[in-house]
Structure 1
Amino acid sequence: MVQAANSAGIGQAVARKEDLRLVTGSGCFSDDVNLPGQAYAVFLRSPHAHARLRAIEVASALAVPGVIAVLTGRDLLADGIKPIPHRPFSPHPADIPLENTDGTPMFTAPHHPLAVDKVRHVGEAVAMVIAQSVAAAKDGAEAVEVDYVVLPAVADTASAARPDAPRVFDDARSNVCLDAQTGDREATEAGFARAAHVVRFETWIPRVTGVPMEPRAAVGEYDPATGRYTLHAGTSGAWRTKMDLAVMLGVAEDAVRVITRDVGGHFGTRGMLYGEFAVVVWAARRVGRAVKWTCERQEAFATDYQGRDLVVEAELALDAEGNFLAMRGSNISNAGGHTTNFSPLRKGVEIMSTIYRMPAAHFRARGIVSNTAPTRPYRSSGRPEVIYVMERLIDLAARQCGFDRVELRRRNLVTEAEMPYTNPFGMIYGDGAYHRVMEKALELADWSGFPARRAQARARGKCRGIGVANYVDTASGVPRERAEMTVHADGTVDVIIGTVSTGQGHETSFAQLVTEWLGVAFDKVRILTGDTEFVKFGGGTHSGRGLRLASIVIWGASQQIIEKGKRIAALLLECEPGAVEFRDGAFHRAGGGRSVSLADVARGAAELTELSADLRGPLAAVCDHTVEVAEFPYGCQVVEVEIDPELGTLEIVRYTAVDDVGRAVNPGIIHGQVHGGIAQGMGQALLERCHYDPETGQLLSGSFMDYAMPRADHFPSFDTEYVEIPSATHPLGMRPAGEGGTAPALGVMINAIADALSEYGVKHVEMPATPERIWRAIREAGRTDR
């Protein structure tokens, strides 16, 4: 047993224990849940981006065979259902505050799950039809008559920020909800005043959507005998969803239960309560039976929380030797049709200078609303956008001022000797070996051998480019987590924790922690989560907090088990507790001789009558911990591309990534996370965009026919490696690894494309860098010969 335990502990590439269930179709996702006598719901959604609701006529719909009820926003209000309790910012104390410079509070507005007086984006729900079947519900939805008064709309981010733009909310002064400034303006202006070079970059990081493999689905039920609501749905954290539901329903916390089973992808799209989830449980009470809703893919494109959408103007000041002196600029983040979340704005601007030494910086940060679907944090929330800007600025500076791209980065990267380093916005990086990681990535990518490969490509009529990008990620999120651990007499260890795996492999990596610290067999560990019936608290999975916080509370609970176990083992071994040692999954009497297993001690805890009251009962422990500091994982990526200048088509011929994970728990899972993150970043850089008509707000990319997704044949074999430099701010030395693949991907890809096209005089290509955009960039540059 001890040998098996050690072979599955920390650092081992153990096969994911959940995979057999998932790849054989034995998983249980939200749409797999069906309850006796359930009804089916369909939402009628607005075809307009901006309109007043003059009247909703439901009589015809109620006459459709099979229709049970039609519910509207007015019904919600009459029943006292409250708006969705959005949190504009994440609650972590390490993040910098953003406040209006004029001292006024940030503008927020109620977001009702069914529109009451006005719709603010295409796809906003205006009615819910409940029927005996999905088909009947759809027929009923088609029979609902809505009298809309269509209003002027604005979808473009920069346009929405203008004072004369159509106002999304009538009671707001403008569409600008937040207008903050951060950094030191005076020091920044002084830096620019003495600069030998100034480089300017303006860009828009387009909007994308997460497109998880599993669309949203929910089943709501209500027990009139107890007054209790139950929601079955895919979430990133069942406990947080429960608390929000209780607020919306106006009931006590224990009157709501949330059950989350297998979840087919998250990426930020499931990180906040959806109005549909509240409506299905409310509807279950209204109709006296369970109500099920499953989101269709086209519906998801219009209504899932989307991500990115940032307009940036940035300038970088350098001295004659290439030292960075200051940076300044403006960021405008588009929250869409409701004031859902401005965390991406804050999470980006607070690390605008990323991992480079920047004596001074000053940025204006504005959060706006528009007639588009609401946004919220999307994988690596806010950081890929600003890393893209910083890395493009460096490449543009190198090209404009005659510096070598790599040498310019070497000169300005924060060194290990400068740690801990406070960036110009007040964020404190605890540690980081940025130079070491970049040099490793350059070596793996054979950066020095690139000129020869470029010459070979040119001989074949192709242009080849190479790009490099460094990144830092801010892992914060909900700072508190809790774990309950119980050791049973058969040697099984149960761990109850409030995180939820949405593809990260928690059942495996968390079990490896227990195996490492308690010496039990890997297959004897059960990770229990996703049900608020037994999860007393949980912050969920987001912002790189899953393993980062879970490791701390699982370790704490393990140590309590060991200390408690020593006292019980002392009775079994007939010695003092101080003479008991724990190793290899067993308690040993010091000096050799007798030992008892962890299972024996668990049995003793249940059976020994002479134990004190605090030791009798299950061998169990609880660790509840709050982490006040953020973690800053970092790394470097190098990409090599080859472009056909006649067609504009691009091939990624080489992709190298190096990440510092602090301490690797499962190398296989780390590589999987990095590969997936790269794919998402490359998807945005080359293919993906939520395309809205800028004037009407109509979504023009509402299906897979119009929204391009990355495929396996778009990528080469990734050369991903990691280093393990223990984190100075995590008690176990661990760093998150789930978002590093995405964070630098935008910057490194566009840097590589710009390098490939530099021989044609092309300086920049906006995202997504489609073949058409590349082809046009070559021709608009005015040089088609090389």
Structure 2
Amino acid sequence: MNAQSNQPSRYIGKPVLRKEDLRLVTGAGRYSDDFTLPGLTHAAMVRSPYARARIVSISTAAALALPGVLAVFTGQDVIAAGLKPLVHDNFLMGSAETQKSGADIILVNSSGKPIVSTPHHLLPPDISIYSGEAVAMVVAETADIAKAAASLVDVEFEELPFVVDAVQALEPDAPQLWEEFPGNIGIDAHVGDQDATDAIFASASKVASLHTHIQRVTGVTMEPRSATGSYDPETQRYQLYAGSSGVWRHKIELALVLGVPPSHVRVIAEDVGGNFGTKNNLSVELALVTWAAKEVGRPVKWTAERGEAFASDYQGRDLTVDAELALDDDGNFLALRTRNISNLGAHFVSFQPLRKGASLMSNVYDIPVGSVRAIGAITNTASTAPFRSAGRPEAIFVMERLVDIAAQRFGFDRIELRRRNLVQPSQFPYRNIAGIEYDSGDYEGVMDAALRMIDWDGFPARAQDARAQGKRRGIGIANYVEITTGMPREKAEIRVDPDGMVELVIGTMSSGQGHETSFAQVAAELLGIGLNQVRLMAGDTDRLTIGGGSISGRSMRFACVVINEAVNRVIEQASKVVAHVTGVDSSAVTFANGVLKASEASEFTIFDVARLIRDRPDLPEELRAPLYGEHDHFFSDASFPFGAQACEVEVDLATGAVRLVDIAAVDDVGRAINPLILHGQTIGGCVQGLGQAMIEHVVYDEESGQLMTGSLMDYGLLRAESVPMFKVEISEVPATMNPMGVRSGGEGGTTPALAVFVNAVVDALKEFGVEHIEMPLTPQKVWSAIHEKAGLPENQMLRDLMML
């Protein structure tokens, strides 16, 4: 019996207020640092001040002499204890055979070498390889004592040659960082048809080109990484309390590091104060406190300070691209060719951003042929990993900038050039230049919606008004499509309590996405119960048997499928009980609007059935099990959310300051479960993408290898006053690869935001010959671009131009 019906929805598609918000805003949330255990001790890290250095010796005597210090651990202790290096994405997904099981493109090294990770020890035994890497850990009675003792650990370093720039790391004379990775190359792969692409470019009448660096950024989560580890000598079980995208992944990775069966590890998380990818992978500090708890015989807690987070969190983006777009005289796109160089950082943690980006370089456009070379370079910087929308904002940025550059160089209208080359609804399913098959979409429809919302046609009058005030207005458009996959396996369990509650157990954590509400909307809709009768459990591996986590826009897309099937199992079991007590065949029992009927005179809710099971000892043994349903599913298909953004900016020519005047975003999510939550995700994602376009930048000094943006005094973030009120709309073209038509909805705001802002600013300055400005578009960069292109001396204030 299927739980879905043709009745109007009570909850699905409704803008329900988030049920978790009252708990969180009143301080009743429980985040990682809130966990405390009897006998709790505290850890502090000793971090390397050098980009690359040999560890000659570590003296711990002064630290150990400080009252309250319990232990000091070094890389040699880690090796002696038999702890394994961290397990990263490449181990889990790097082989071609493993990649074939998913819907993403397959990246293989052109040399034939397997894709493997650098050895990532919890503490380096011999060489530290980026500034801020932990080289020792102190455990003490209090956090203050631990920090004081950390300053007393005397590490003798021998500085070694280093490189922090990815392009420079590939030069023949660059220092060799890992023996296992000649030339500092972690991966070098080709996607597409290189020969056919080169042939098109050789004869193309028009070629637009772009060299750009999509700069490195970091998550700056409100809650920094934090963890508490404990060990029970009687059960020989380790326990870790730490926020993440999903506890199951940390359980498996931690068991591998500790060298114990997964059954000996329990991971618990409750509320997670932001993630964006920085907490997906197990980090060294989490493994260290778990192991140290056994060594000192007491629980150990570590919480990152903001400076530590900047220095040691997994970071994002950092992609250098050379791209070319071939066109004919009518503006038809003929071919795309790019070389993408990703800065992997000191450890090769993940190839997913490079892979995702390479698969979507052609974006929403019908380009007959293309070629992408995807290179990952190892450098002496903090490692990069999947960061909100992982590789897709970079790809969309490049393509959308190329379209605007082509229009500006060759005299095409920006909108008509896009319209001419969009994939049309009749072309679906459509296979792009990387071999990825888009399932469905209306790309022109969402672009037209964004143009309408921003009042594109009314822009010339607004631009003229700004000119009269000595300012310049610009307007931009950016289309996008994503591919979302993620860990392919997910499971839901539903337990019906006779007292009127349903427990939903599922292995994907919320870090602000509102799962307690949206998952409950699905379950309550299908079961015909109240929203507040659903209780979510997602953060305890002793309760979960599997879970892929909240990554790559997979949560709702997977959850709605497994919840629906688990509900069907509940209804099937309940129908058998109703059939028995009413004396009818189970096939005669119907279910609709939360009611099981055997006849017009006999109606039962699921809670009635749960009470029957509890209270009727005369039921046959096979019907006495508590009312329960589960579904475990392996997802092999991808999802392709799409949309468009338009924005308008105003540039102060005297200072280079850019004001974001208006922004509109349209996102197609297939089927919206909660539009209110989706609007919040879009707005938050837009701000995060705009932050990169406008102000955010992780900077390493090339001369010293030092992190220059190690605090919020140096790393800029947007404020509420930085952005206007957002105009957001949802499009719903059902996804054909999801039974409920759901696409992903958490990353679409970020994906086109980089491109739409830069497109708008360049449009404002096109009269000065400005064709491109590298992100972030700070006032200094914008001011310099105006002066450089206008050929003006640097001390001239553009007074004459302002009044033109």
Cα deviation code 1:259-285 (max 9, x no counterpart): 011000010111100111110011000
Please tell me whether residue 528 in structure 1 is matched to residue 530 in structure 2: no
Cα distance in 2 for residues equivalent to 1:142 and 1:649? 42
For 1:663, the equivalent position in structure 2 comes to 671
Cα distance in 1 for residues equivalent to 2:72 and 2:499? 53
Match of 2:174 among 165, 183, 186: 165
Cα distance in 1 for residues equivalent to 2:114 and 2:497? 53
For 2:85, the equivalent position in structure 1 comes to 83
For 1:689, the equivalent position in structure 2 comes to 697
For 1:195, the equivalent position in structure 2 comes to 204
For 2:288, the equivalent position in structure 1 comes to 279
Cα deviation code 1:584-617 (max 9, x no counterpart): 1111235x33211211111223343454444322
SS at match of 2:345: coil
- More divergent stretch after superposition (317-326 vs 484-493): 484-493
Aligned residues: 781
SS at match of 1:143: coil
Deviation at 1:7, TM superposition (A): 7.7
Deviation at 1:105, TM superposition (A): 2.5
Please tell me whether residue 220 in structure 1 is matched to residue 229 in structure 2: yes
Deviation at 1:151, TM superposition (A): 0.8
For 2:128, the equivalent position in structure 1 comes to 119
Deviation at 1:107, TM superposition (A): 5.1
User: Residues 74-153 of structure 1: matches in 2 within 5 Å?
Assistant: 74-88=76-90, 93-106=102-115, 108-153=117-162
Match of 1:743 among 751, 757, 769: 751
Deviation at 1:360, TM superposition (A): 0.4
Please tell me whether residue 624 in structure 1 is matched to residue 632 in structure 2: yes
Cα distance in 2 for residues equivalent to 1:107 and 1:312? 23
Cα distance in 1 for residues equivalent to 2:433 and 2:762? 29
The 8 Å contact of residues 238 and 531 in structure 1, kept in 2 or not, is answered as: yes
SS at match of 1:487: strand
For 1:312, the equivalent position in structure 2 comes to 321
The 8 Å contact of residues 506 and 547 in structure 2, kept in 1 or not, is answered as: yes
User: Residues 242-257 of structure 1: matches in 2 within 5 Å?
Assistant: 242-257=251-266
SS at match of 1:349: helix
Please tell me whether residue 354 in structure 1 is matched to residue 351 in structure 2: no
The 8 Å contact of residues 8 and 522 in structure 1, kept in 2 or not, is answered as: no
Match of 1:602 among 607, 610, 627: 610
Match of 1:558 among 564, 567, 580: 567
Deviation at 1:636, TM superposition (A): 0.3
Cα deviation code 1:7-30 (max 9, x no counterpart): 851011111111001000110111
Cα distance in 2 for residues equivalent to 1:166 and 1:602? 67
Cα distance in 2 for residues equivalent to 1:170 and 1:701? 30
Please tell me whether residue 60 in structure 1 is matched to residue 62 in structure 2: yes
- More divergent stretch after superposition (736-745 vs 9-18): 9-18
Letter in 2 for 1:31: D
Cα distance in 2 for residues equivalent to 1:612 and 1:683? 62
Deviation at 1:363, TM superposition (A): 1.4
SS at match of 2:543: coil
For 1:583, the equivalent position in structure 2 comes to 592
Letter in 2 for 1:563: E
Cα distance in 2 for residues equivalent to 1:193 and 1:77? 55
- More divergent stretch after superposition (413-422 vs 88-97): 88-97
SS at match of 1:246: helix
Letter in 1 for 2:645: Q
For 1:458, the equivalent position in structure 2 comes to 467
Letter in 1 for 2:138: V
Cα distance in 1 for residues equivalent to 2:10 and 2:316? 37
SS at match of 1:494: strand
Where does the alignment leave 5 or more consecutive residues of structure 1 unmatched? none
Cα deviation code 1:347-381 (max 9, x no counterpart): 10111101100100011110111010011000000
Match of 1:336 among 345, 355, 362: 345
Cα distance in 1 for residues equivalent to 2:149 and 2:51? 23
For 2:4, the equivalent position in structure 1 comes to none
Letter in 1 for 2:161: P
Match of 1:634 among 633, 642, 653: 642
- More divergent stretch after superposition (748-757 vs 170-179): 170-179
- More divergent stretch after superposition (335-344 vs 562-571): 562-571
For 2:305, the equivalent position in structure 1 comes to 296
For 1:650, the equivalent position in structure 2 comes to 658
Letter in 2 for 1:54: V
For 2:248, the equivalent position in structure 1 comes to 239
SS at match of 1:754: helix
Deviation at 1:104, TM superposition (A): 2.2
The 8 Å contact of residues 631 and 735 in structure 1, kept in 2 or not, is answered as: yes
Where does the alignment leave 5 or more consecutive residues of structure 2 unmatched? 1-6, 94-98, 792-797
For 1:183, the equivalent position in structure 2 comes to 192
For 1:19, the equivalent position in structure 2 comes to 21
The 8 Å contact of residues 192 and 434 in structure 2, kept in 1 or not, is answered as: yes
Deviation at 1:238, TM superposition (A): 0.3
Letter in 1 for 2:25: V
For 2:493, the equivalent position in structure 1 comes to 484
For 1:568, the equivalent position in structure 2 comes to 577
Deviation at 1:6, TM superposition (A): 7.9
The 8 Å contact of residues 155 and 695 in structure 1, kept in 2 or not, is answered as: no
Cα deviation code 1:314-372 (max 9, x no counterpart): 00000111110001120000110111111100110111101100100011110111010
SS at match of 1:726: coil
The 8 Å contact of residues 245 and 509 in structure 2, kept in 1 or not, is answered as: yes
The 8 Å contact of residues 663 and 733 in structure 1, kept in 2 or not, is answered as: yes
For 2:434, the equivalent position in structure 1 comes to 425
SS at match of 2:77: helix
Deviation at 1:423, TM superposition (A): 0.5
Letter in 2 for 1:85: V
Match of 1:363 among 367, 372, 377: 372
Letter in 1 for 2:16: V
Please tell me whether residue 406 in structure 1 is matched to residue 415 in structure 2: yes
Match of 1:40 among 39, 42, 61: 42
SS at match of 1:656: strand
The 8 Å contact of residues 342 and 377 in structure 2, kept in 1 or not, is answered as: yes
Kindly report the root-mean-square deviation, in angstroms, between the aligned alpha carbons of the 2 structures.
Answer: 1.3
SS at match of 1:199: strand
TM-score normalised according to structure 2 size? 0.96
The 8 Å contact of residues 440 and 733 in structure 2, kept in 1 or not, is answered as: no
Match of 1:435 among 429, 444, 449: 444
Letter in 1 for 2:496: V
The 8 Å contact of residues 88 and 117 in structure 2, kept in 1 or not, is answered as: no
Letter in 2 for 1:57: S
Please tell me whether residue 468 in structure 1 is matched to residue 477 in structure 2: yes
- More divergent stretch after superposition (171-180 vs 242-251): 171-180
Cα distance in 2 for residues equivalent to 1:429 and 1:107? 29
Match of 2:777 among 760, 763, 769: 769
SS at match of 1:638: strand
The 8 Å contact of residues 155 and 696 in structure 1, kept in 2 or not, is answered as: no
Deviation at 1:572, TM superposition (A): 3.0
Deviation at 1:187, TM superposition (A): 1.5
Match of 2:688 among 665, 680, 694: 680
User: Residues 710-725 of structure 1: matches in 2 within 5 Å?
Assistant: 710-725=718-733
Please tell me whether residue 155 in structure 1 is matched to residue 155 in structure 2: no
Cα distance in 1 for residues equivalent to 2:45 and 2:785? 43
SS at match of 2:459: helix
Cα deviation code 1:211-268 (max 9, x no counterpart): 0000011110001111110001111110110000100001111100000110000101
The 8 Å contact of residues 6 and 515 in structure 1, kept in 2 or not, is answered as: no
Cα distance in 2 for residues equivalent to 1:422 and 1:350? 11
The 8 Å contact of residues 478 and 752 in structure 2, kept in 1 or not, is answered as: yes
Letter in 2 for 1:340: V
Deviation at 1:407, TM superposition (A): 0.3
The 8 Å contact of residues 231 and 239 in structure 2, kept in 1 or not, is answered as: yes
Please tell me whether residue 760 in structure 1 is matched to residue 768 in structure 2: yes
Cα deviation code 1:133-163 (max 9, x no counterpart): 1121112111111110101111112111212
For 2:3, the equivalent position in structure 1 comes to none
Deviation at 1:171, TM superposition (A): 4.2
SS at match of 1:410: helix
